[in-house]
Amino acid sequence: KNQVEQSPQSLIILEGKNCTLQCNYTVSPFSNLRWYKQDTGRGPVSLTIMTFSENTKSNGRYTATLDADTKQSSLHITASQLSDSASYICVVSYGGNNRLAFGKGNQVVVIP
């Protein structure tokens, strides 16, 4: 069983609309949680990184939340643009030595 589960697996949304992606994790001890955006065939690019004490962080139209008690995180995309079409990967750092556990990603397709 994957230690980081993301839902929905894929999502199609209209340009200009909002969407929310979910991430549940089981790894411990928790260090931080990151959301990355990965365009097809490219390396992931960091959007946000949150530690245990942070419960929300924004990066432009991207807002991430973290509930470390329930081990859940979400990524909210506001006013989506065509360029938001990508895979969004939830990554949890654990174990104190920068070990990363990756989700499989939420595949988002924005259509005009």
Q: Where on the chain is the footprint of another protein (CB under 8 A)?
A: 2, 4, 31-32, 34, 36, 41-46, 49, 51, 89, 93-100, 102-105
The amino acid that residue 3 corresponds to is Q
Min CB(108)–another protein separation in Å: 14
Which run of H or E residues covers position 35? strand 30-38
Of 34 and 84, the one with the shorter C-beta distance to another protein is: 34
Of 19 and 94, the one with the shorter C-beta distance to another protein is: 94
Largest Cα–Cα distance of the chain, in whole Å?
43
Those residues whose C-beta lies under 8 Å from the C-beta of residue 70, and which sit 6 or more positions away, are: none
Min CB(52)–another protein separation in Å: 11
